[in-house]
Amino acid sequence: MNSQCIVLILCLLVYQAYAVPAETKYLDASEFEKCPEDTNAAGDCIAKIINTLLPRLRHGDPELNIPAYDPFLIDKLSFQYSSGAVNGRISVRNVKLYGIVGIKIQKIDVKRNNNKIQLRIYSHQPKINILGDYKADMHVNQLQLKPKGKFNLTLFDVQSTVNTEGEIYTKDDGKRFLRLTDIEANPKIGDMIIKANGIFPDPELDEIALNVANNYWRDIYGIILPETRKSWVPLLLRLINQALLKVPIDEFTSRSD
């Protein structure tokens, strides 16, 4: 559950926020130097633009249909989980993610082969707070659990590495855009505090479960992130590609071809 939310946050690291596509409105690049496409300096240039725009767009942009993103709101997400003796379905609703504005892009590596693009994005975030409602239907060996309640996760010192693959394409108006075809995220967390209720009918059992989760969260996190990848990758790609529709490449880069 927490991994899916974390990875969703990472879509904002590429080009600031998700948006509903508009036909004529694009992000204004007039104040920025154009980034070279085929040199090592391209990554530093892109990182500088993102670090400038990310806090500026915190409250959204109505003309571009970009909503406010801190807190970042998630109406509903769910995923199927199956690993060893544990399997089932987990859903979260009314999720709010705080702290996105604190993300700092540290470095971006860019590789290009004709119209194929690879980006590796390194970022740091001091603190993330994620809260909302959850519901699950889980089987642990022969035991069936149906926990339901509220959760509150606080993550500290989040170091993220995001690897993406994409392609450059040209729209009918002649403008070039980047479309991502795959993404892999590997956030590393310095510490995490987990709070929740409704895990068991008995509040004392809830407290015991939370103590175990807070003591062994690294092991739990290491299992959940890859196990749920097939659930969050399609959503993540859709959100990022919607955002990239606001970013005509030639407005932000100088072509060398």
CATH number, position 122: 3.15.10.30
257 is a domain residue: no
The pLDDT, as a whole number, for residue 39 is 60
pLDDT in tens, the chain (257 residues): 444 333 444 444 433 434 444 345 788 888 888 888 666 678 888 898 889 888 888 888 888 777 788 888 888 888 777 777 778 888 999 999 999 889 999 999 988 888 899 999 999 999 999 999 999 998 877 788 889 999 999 999 999 999 999 999 998 888 889 999 998 887 899 999 999 999 888 889 889 989 998 998 888 787 777 767 776 778 778 878 877 888 888 888 875 54
71 is a domain residue: yes
The pLDDT, as a whole number, for residue 253 is 80
| pTM of structure | 0.78
37 is a domain residue: yes
146 is a domain residue: yes
The pLDDT, as a whole number, for residue 221 is 82
Quick check: 87 and 117 in contact, CB under 8 A?
Answer: no
Structure tokens that stand for 118 in this block: 């690879």
Range of the domain at 60: 2-250
The pLDDT, as a whole number, for residue 38 is 63
Indicate if the alpha-carbon torsion angle 6, 190, 200, 96 is positive or negative: negative
Supply the DSSP symbol for 10: H
Beta bridge partners of 61: 66
Structure tokens that stand for 127 in this block: 């603190």
Question: In the block, which residue shows the tokens 């807070």?
Answer: 214
124 is a domain residue: yes
Q: How far apart are CA 159 and CA 121, in angstroms?
A: 11
Domain count, the chain: 1
256 is a domain residue: no
The pLDDT, as a whole number, for residue 159 is 94
Q: Which helix (H) or strand (E) holds 166?
A: strand 148-170
Q: Is 13 exposed, middle or buried (0-12, 13-18, 19+ CB in 10 A)?
A: buried
24 is a domain residue: yes
The pLDDT, as a whole number, for residue 143 is 80
239 is a domain residue: yes
